[in-house]
Amino acid sequence: MNVLIIKNVKNEGPGTIEDFLKEKGAEYSIVEFSGCDATEERVPDVSKFSHLVIMGGPMALYESEGAPLVHFETAMIRAFMLNKKPVLGICLGAQLIAHALKAHVFAGGTEEVGWDKVEITPEGMEDPVFSTISVNTEPYAEVFQWHGDTFDLPKKTVRLASSGAYENQAFRYKENVYALQFHIEVRPEMIKEWFADKKACDTEKMFKRTDDIYPEYRKRAMKFYEAFFK
């Protein structure tokens, strides 16, 4: 196993995904596609990698200054899919997968910020990878959200989860491509860094819930990675 991880912004790294890969002794490379690192010279040779993971970021794909290397990321996603290699997209990464599958990505009109529940569809509960994030095998999961954009469900995909605000929270394409609008990878220190100077939400309540839920959330995330990367 040799995993390619794409970062679209400096402070949205792979978090517990990297923890899992380190614990397994797996090979992986993290490539920065943010800021001054967003140059064509940074695009790696994807042929040597077995898995692709694309992380989040605050940029909007539908704006001209969106992800600087969106065309290259889209091409990478399609190359992995064509070669039947697993792909995982987180937040912006999920939107990029939807875009690669020719679905519309757009502003959703409302933000989801903090810990909230998503309802897992019957298909999601039957999915051997995605069902691992359910709480006590019930058809829901409490997850960390931070987004205002969304996407139409791409053709020939399976919806795995929804929320009250957004119908498309997660989907699967074929058997090994997973798009998650929420942040399965977060660690407590990541959340505290992201919201250290944010005034628009109750950060103290968010941080308290983070401390309470994190040990169990990490266990569910690790089960997901175990199933996805096997």
In eight-state DSSP terms, residue 183 is B
Q: How many residues does the chain have?
A: 230
pLDDT at site 201: 73
What is the Cα–Cα distance from 114 to 183, expressed in whole angstroms?
Answer: 10
- Residue 132 structural domain: 2-229
Question: Hey, what are 163's tokens?
Answer: 């929320």
Q: Could you identify the residue written with the tokens 């599958």?
A: 101
Backbone φ, ψ for residue 200 (5° rounding): -85, -5
Domain total in the chain? 1
Q: Which residue has the tokens 């941080």?
A: 207
For residue range 37-52, list pLDDT tens digits in order: 555 666 778 899 999 9
> Which residue is it, tokens 């959340």?
191
Report the alpha-carbon distance of residue 172 to residue 174 in Å, rounded. 6
pLDDT at 214: 96
The reported pLDDT for the residue numbered 58 is 85
Could you tell me the pTM of the whole model? 0.94
Residue 180's H or E segment, with its range, is strand 177-180
What CATH number does residue 120 fall under? Answer: 3.40.50.880
Helix axes of 203-229 and 16-24: crossing angle, nearest 10 degrees: 40
Residues of the chain with pLDDT under 70: 35-42, 64-68, 199-200
Which phi and psi angles does 180 have, rounded to 5°? -120, 120
User: Would you state the pLDDT for residue 67?
Assistant: 61
